[in-house]
Amino acid sequence: MTLVAQVTSYPFGISSPDPVDLLRSAGFTVRLSPHARKHTPAETASLLGDVDVLLAGTEPLPAEVLASGLPRLKHVARVGVGLDGFDVGFCVANGIAVTYTPDAPARSVVEQVFGLLIGLSRRLVEAHEGLRHGKWQRFTGVLWQGKTFGILGCGRIGRQVAVIARAFGMKVIAHDIREDHAWAAQHDVEYVSLDHLLERSLAITVHLPYTRGTANILSAQRLRQMRRGAYLINTCRGEVLDEDELLRCLSNGHLAGAALDVYHHEPYRGPLAHLPNVFLCCHQGSCSHDGRYAMEMGAAENSVAFLRGETIAAERVVWLPGMAGPAVEIW
């Protein structure tokens, strides 16, 4: 029987053919996404009837989609880190291994944060678009040296953001459910409550997984609690904030600006796109050439290692047959 690896993550194999070549060298027939975009549940389900491993992107993977792969589907290799919309519990109940690549996209997102921050607060996109239409506009903006920069979620991405922010000369404060005081002292980062983070930060960048505990964490009330004239950057998941209230806060001048790479519904077609003080990207924080390569190769390596019964690096394991339960928090 031919082994089939179905790829629904997109892009995949574009920056480099290496991930596809690795899968093929292990004996897989590789089928790439026929849609070249994020799949709907029905589109994914229609592809799974004869699949041994699914290399999935951020598309929803509820139980009814995963059930379309039974009894043959034995492994879902997530290309990236988020597990939201993915019924890992169904996989555990049906013996389907789950792996991911949590470290691979981190640095790409870190660097994107500072592009968004400076592009937004110095109004570079406005100047660019104006010049394209014959307008010469010399906007002024924020010098970030000495300003207070808040990090909501200080894990693998947030910590790297903190180090770079300190190199800019910013005062860095952070909020996280797990505080590493030795690390914070080494890097001159102050842990604060969420209330203090909102009230003190001139800019806040959000780096949280999407879980029951983080859904709508930046609620309408908390967005209004942010310092007047502050900036918000979100590159994690759209569901962590109230988009309707963000629109109001940006329109009435409470917030100076927002830079978003993620949304409740993607592709985004909402009213935030019409505001001049918003910098919008297309869920592309991981999309450096190196970042995509690491994610895609990591997922391919996990697929091949599982096929061969080889050890998969512990930080890439969500659940493998024989484990008592998932190694990370799931919905």
Select from 20, 24, 22 the least CA-distant residue to 3. 24
Backbone dihedral angles phi then psi of residue 189, each to the nearest 5 degrees = -115, 135
Burial of residue 195, with CB atoms counted within 10 A of its CB: 0-12 exposed, 13-18 middle, 19 or more buried: exposed
C-alpha dist (Å) from residue 275 to 116, 260, 279: 16, 12, 9
Please give the structure tokens belonging to residue 14. 């574009």
C-alpha dist (Å) from residue 194 to 170, 177, 180, 187, 219: 19, 10, 16, 20, 12
Single-letter amino acid code for the residue at 53: V
Catalytic residue IDs: 237, 266, 283
Single-letter amino acid code for the residue at 315: E
255: part of which helix (H) or strand (E)? strand 255-260
What order of strands is seen across the sheet that includes strand 28-31?
Answer: 28-31, 3-7, 53-56, 75-78, 97-99, 317-319
Q: Are strands 317-319 and 97-99 parallel, antiparallel or unpaired?
A: antiparallel
Strand partners, 97: 75
4: part of which helix (H) or strand (E)? strand 3-7
Angle 183-193-102 from CA coordinates, rounded to 5°: 50
Please give the structure tokens belonging to residue 28. 């897989």
- Give the end-to-end CA distance of the chain in Å, rounded to a whole number: 35
C-alpha dist (Å) from residue 221 to 3, 109, 237, 241, 266: 51, 27, 19, 11, 25
